[in-house]
Copies of this chain bind each other. A is one copy, B any other.
Amino acid sequence: MRNLTLLTDLYQLTMMNAYLETGEGNRNCVFDLFYRANDYIEYAVAAGLETAVEYINNLKFTDEDIEYLKSLKLFGDKFFAAIKDFKFTGDLYAVREGEFIFPNEPIVTVKAPLYQAQFIETALLNIINHQTLIATKAAKITHEAKGAVMEFGLRRAQGPDAGVYGARAAVIGGCKSTSNMLAGQKFGIPVSGTLAHSFIMSYENELDAFRAYAEIYPDNCVLLVDTYDTLKSGVPNAIKVFDELKAKGYKPAAIRLDSGDLAYLSKKARKMLDEAGHKDVKIIASGDIDEYILSSLHQQGAKIDLWGIGTKLITSAQNPALGGVYKLAAIEKNGKWTPKIKISDTQEKITNPALKTVYRIYDKDNMAAADLICLKDEVFDTSKPLTIFHPVETWKKTTFTEYSMRNLMVDIIKDGKLVYQMPSLKEIVEYAQKVKSEFWEEYVRLINPHIYKVDLSDKLYELKHLLINEKTEGIYLQSEKKERE
């Protein structure tokens, strides 16, 4: 991985400088990275941890970096002393890649000296926000697709990284392959592809183009049939070439539809293929598809076996940012920790204080029933009933009697050292499938999904409300005092 040390915002560095100059830089602190509820993301699929850890392990200010920073005349000696041989010395906790996560749950928690934790904020957000966004979109799309989904978005991705890491995230979210060779090489993802209109157009006519391609790839002959006219030209010519392949003992693979009314065309094409004796030939569809179009096509009885999905997957078109944030949850001074909270007029935007973790509560069928955000050191006795309540509408309570609990967060880095065995992408994909199988369809369906319960433990709830009262009283006292003055 290339050096991304300067992949940060200027203000992280000016704050770092101010912390170090005022002697606050080495205080330990806790930051949580999490996303907030929005209309598009009821659940998210965590992704990006591997890239984030690589980023942290590769941090190094080069001589050129230092020269550039000096040229800005914004930083003092303590700052340059701290970045010389900079090394992350803190702890990092995170949920596994492929984990289902919900609003306000920490995806990553950093416990480190203030100047370090602040410094890595931007890149962590950039990486986790992006990959989690695309894994989530892929999960939604593959949930509706039924057939296998191939990720085809590189040409519309927001730059090279968006294509490469987006392909990885798409696979974590459930895609089976990518068209992206660099992602295939880098992450061992199966690569797939067919042929383009330009190939067809470069030959005298469609039939010549099909024959040329079939000659080279007789064992995996996928023909794009919409260059001129799908039903009048493309499918009949494909059938001709498939007949020829069959006569030579090959098994023709598929046709691809890339435009027009996919429901209508796929049904017609299926009928034509079947009548010509090509019942085994698959139909691949592509062209501006997302989860809503998939659902609509299935309702219309479209006969499509495989999907190539590009733009809307690789950009998460409807909602192109996860909106993850990174918020201070606690800070230490002289060995004493103080929990911290960010107040907001919107109750949902008030942060959760202190070093925390998340437990998933499973019912007796081992299906996910609710998540509980709690203090990191809390212990639960699952032999006793557990009552949880909604963090805002507190009268909404649920009591579990037969249940089990699983801590979602694992130790990734301790005192700057990697303590987690990074799983392979294959293992991550298997893990993601297992996690998804623990959720009832009601929670993941496209339209009006059931809202999954994410509650706070009694202890965390109490601490949070203590701090809210402290902070808000503080403000009003201060302002009343001012008015009296």
Residues of A within 8 A of B (CB): 2, 4, 6-15, 17-19, 21-22, 24, 27, 29, 31, 64-65, 68, 72, 74, 76, 114, 118, 121-123, 125-127, 129-131, 133-134, 152, 154-166, 179-182, 184-185, 191-199, 201-203, 205, 212-213, 215-217, 227-229, 232-233, 236, 259-260, 311, 315-317, 320-324, 326-328, 331, 340-345, 471, 474-476, 478-479, 482
Contact = CB atoms under 8 A, between A and B. Distances in A.
A243 to B, nearest CB: 14
B7 A321 contact: no
22 contacts: A7-B160, A8-B154, A11-B179, A11-B194, A12-B193, A12-B196, A15-B196, A19-B202, A21-B216, A22-B216, A68-B185, A74-B217, A121-B196, A122-B154, A123-B160, A130-B162, A227-B343, A232-B475, A232-B479, A236-B482, A260-B345, A315-B320
Nearest to A214: B18
Nearest to A2: B2
A10 B191 contact: yes
Contacts of A122: 154-155
A198 B327 contact: yes
A24 B321 CA distance: 43
Given A212-B22, A342-B201, A344-B259, A7 B181 contact: yes
Given A18-B213, A202-B29, A8 B181 contact: yes
Contacts of A201: 328, 331, 340-342
A159 B127 contact: yes
B315 A156 contact: no
A475 B159 CA distance: 39
A76 B199 CA distance: 18
Contacts of A471: 228
A158 B132 CA distance: 10
A155 B125 contact: yes
A335 to B, nearest CB: 16
Contacts of A323: 156, 311
Instruction: Pick from A2, A197, A476 the residue with the most CB of B within 10 Å.
Output: A197
A429 to B, nearest CB: 20
Given A18-B199, A475-B228, A157 B126 contact: yes
A155 B163 CA distance: 17
Contact of A343 (B160, B164, B228): B228
Contacts of A7: 154, 160, 163-164, 180-182
Contacts of A160: 4, 7, 123, 126-127, 161
Nearest to A316: B320
A328 B191 contact: no
A125 to B, nearest CB: 4
Instruction: Pick from A22, A166, A311 the residue with the most CB of B within 10 Å.
Output: A22
A468 to B, nearest CB: 11
Contacts of A156: 125-126, 129, 321-323
A193 B17 CA distance: 13
Given A228-B471, A328-B198, A166 B158 contact: yes
A482 B240 CA distance: 12
A198 B325 CA distance: 11
